[in-house]
Structure 1
Amino acid sequence: MSMLKYWVWLSELAGLGNQTRLALLEHFNTPEDVYYADEGEILLTEGMTRREADALKAKDLTEAEKILADCERLELQVLTLRDAAYPVRLRSIYDPPCLLYLRGRLPEVDELPAVAVVGTRKASPYGIRCAEDLAFGLADAGALVVTGLARGIDSMAAQGALRAGGTVIGVLGGGVDVIYPKENGWLYDDVAAAGCLISEYPPGTEPLPAHFPIRNRIMSGLSVAALVVEAPVRSGALITAGMALDQGRDVFAVPGPIYAENSKGCNRLIRDGAGVAAEPWDILRDYEAQFPGKLRGTTRSAPEPLETQPGQMVETAEPAMPSLSLKGAGLTDDQILLLRTLTDQPMLTDDLIELTELPTRRVLSALTMLEIDQYVTQCSGKRYMRAVTLSE
C-alpha cells in the first residue's frame, strides 16, 4: 500500500500527459523515485518541459490515500504497469495506462484470443441480433470478449457472451463503481462476476465524453482483434478500429445494407481491407494455431435474441407448461437445483444465486443451457421462470 500511493499520485497529477508519466517511469524506474527526485534530475527526463516539471512539485498525497481507501472499501484491485499480472499485450502498446483499477478477476489475457466487440449506441434490431449472436459464438468457442459496456452494441455483446457462459472484460470510461448507463447495473455485476471491469480512472470518476476515445486504446490493446458490429461513418467504434490497426491488431466488421446509416462505417472498413465477420469462425480461424487448445472447433447456436430494439425486452412465457422428468432428462446437478428453485413466476438472477448458494458463473451457465432446452424462459430485467412442470 505504501508504494501504491506514489503510483496513484503520479497517475492523478494534473498537468502531465500519459507519455510524460511513461517517460518518468523509464528514467526513474519507480513513482517513489519520481516523487523524491530534485528538479534538475526531473528535467533530464526525455521530453520533459519546464511546465511539467513544475507540476511535479505538487507533493500532497492526501488524494492518493483517499483513492486507495476507496479501493479497499469497494474491494477493488489496483494494478500497476510493473505488476506481473499486468497483461503483456496491453503493456506493449504505445501508451499503456500506468495504473488500472479492477473489479472482479482479471483473466489470463495473454493466454487467450481476446476480441474487442464494439459498435454504435443507437443499434438497430439487425445490429443487436448480430452483436448477441457473434459474441455468444466467440465466447462459446473459448474466446475472451472485451467490450465497453455502453448502451447498444457493447451491452448486447457482453450479454451474448455471458449467456454462453463466457468471460467478459468491460473497459469503462469512468470509475468501475460508477454505472453508465444507469440501467446496466445488473450487467456490471454479471461481468464482474464472470470476468472483470477495468478502468484507468479512480473510483467515483464520472464517465465524461472525453474519456471514451481514450479508453478505446485499452480495449484494442487487450485484444488480438477488434470486431465492429454496426457503426455509422462518424462513430466511436471506428476510433477503436483505428487504434487497433495502429497497435497491429486485426480488424473485422459485420457487413450491412448499403443504404443503412448504421452499416456505412462497417462497409467502409470492409472496403478498406477489414475482414468480413458473418460468423464467429470468420474471426477465430486466424488464431487457432496461435492459441493451441484454447478454442473449440464447434459452437452452439445462440438462443433467440432477447431484444428487438434497444431497451425493449421480449417476454416469451409459454401458455401451457409441459412436464419434465428430472431422472431421465440428463441434467446437471446445477440445472436440477435451479429448476427446483424456479417457479412459474419470474425470479431475479441475484435471488437465484442467493437461494441456490451457487457461484454466479455456474448459475448463468446453467440458466443458459436450460433456456436453450426451453426448460426456462427469460423475462424482462434478467428474470427467469420455469417453463415446465417437474416430476421426479
Structure 2
Amino acid sequence: MNKKEQLKYDNLKQKHRNNEEYLDNENLKEINTSNLKKPRKKEKISKPLVKSFKLKADNKKNNLTDKEKAKMGIIVFIIIFIIIIGGIYYFAIYEPKENELNNEKIAKLNEINQLYKGPLVNAKEATVLEDRINNCHNKLDIDSVDVLRPATAQWKDYHLKKIKENKDIGNRIMLTYTNDSKKNMLISEDEAIKIIEDNDGYILSNIELKKPDTVAVPIEVSRLQAASGLISTGSKIDVYYMNSTSNDLTNKENDSNSTDKISNNSKNTNPEISGCTVLAIMRGKDSGTINSKTEETISKNSENSSYTYTTDVEEDLKANSIDYSESETENVLNSYGIRLSDYERESNIGDLDANYLIFLEVPREDVRFILNNMDSLILTIPTKDSPDWMINEIKNNDSI
C-alpha cells in the first residue's frame, strides 16, 4: 500500500469514528429528553385550600342537628344577657354607689381640713384619720370615723396652754374670733377658760389667743353715743359702728391698707370691739353750771323780792383745789358727773346735749378705726357687765 492509499484509509477511518461519536451523542440526547419532563408552572395553593375549608365548614353546618343549633342559640343568648345585666348593674348600682362613697369620703376629709388647720395642720392624728377614711369601703365605716371629738380635745389643750402663756399682768387675754369677719375680745382669764371649755372644735379652730396689746384712746362723743352717760370708770363696754347713710349698725371690715371700709352686712349684730374698759370719763363743762332762781310776792304793801343763785362747778373745783383740803373736795365732788346722770335717770329729766370725753382702752389694731369713725360709734353696756341699777331694773321687770 502506498502512502496515498494509506492516507486515504486513515481519513476514512477518522470520519467513521467521528460519525459514531455523533450518533452516540444524539442517542443520549434522545434518551435524556424522553426521560425528563418539562417543569410545571407553580400552582396557586391558597385558593383551593380556602375552597376546601369552606366546603368542610359548609358540610359541618349541614351536618349540625337541631339540638346542637338550639344549644348554640342558648349559649349566645346567655352571653348577651350576662353582658346586659352587667352593664345595668354597673351603671345603675355600682357606679352611683361608688360616687356616693367617694362623696362621703370627700366630705369627711373636708371636715378634717376644717378642724385641723393653723397650728394643728400637721398633727399626727389628722394623718391617721385620713388613712382610716381612705381605707373605708362603705358609708357605715366612714360614719364611724369621729373627727370632731379628737379635734376638740386637741384644740382645748392647745388653747389652755396659750392662755397661761399670753395672759397679761391683769390676768386678761386677747381673744380673736375669725369667721366671716374678725372680732376682738379683751376678756379675763376665767372667761377665756370658760369659752374654751364650753365650745367644740368648729368654734375653737377659729379662735386665736394672744397677749393683750392695747392702747388708751380719747374719744369725744355725744350723750346718745356714750350709753346715755350712764357709764363710769371701770365699765366694760362694746363698741358698734353706725352707718350714717343708712342708720344701720354694721361691722367694720379689717383691712391693713384701708380702715375706712365698712361692711354693709346689717344682719351681723356683733360689735366691732368687745370688752373695752373705760379708764376715765369727763362730762362737758356746760353740765357743771347750776342756775337757781327764786321769786316771792307777798302783798300790795310789801315789796316783791326775788333771789337768783348761779354757780359753776368747774370754778368750784378750781377754788376747792386751793381753799379746801383734798379729802373734802373728793367727798363733795366725787363722781359728780355719774351721780348727776343717775339723778337725771331717776327723775327722767336730763341734758340731752351733753358731750363726753372718754378715755377708752382698745386693741392697738383698732385704734385707727376708732379715730376715723369717732362720730359714728355707739358705746353699749353688755347686760353681763351691767351696773347694779340696771340689774335691779331687769329683776324688777322680770318679776312683774
**Which TM bucket (shorter chain)?**
under 0.3
Higher helix share: 2
Which structure has the larger Rg? 2
Task: Specify which structure has the higher proportion of strand.
Answer: 2
Structure 2 length-normalised TM? 0.20
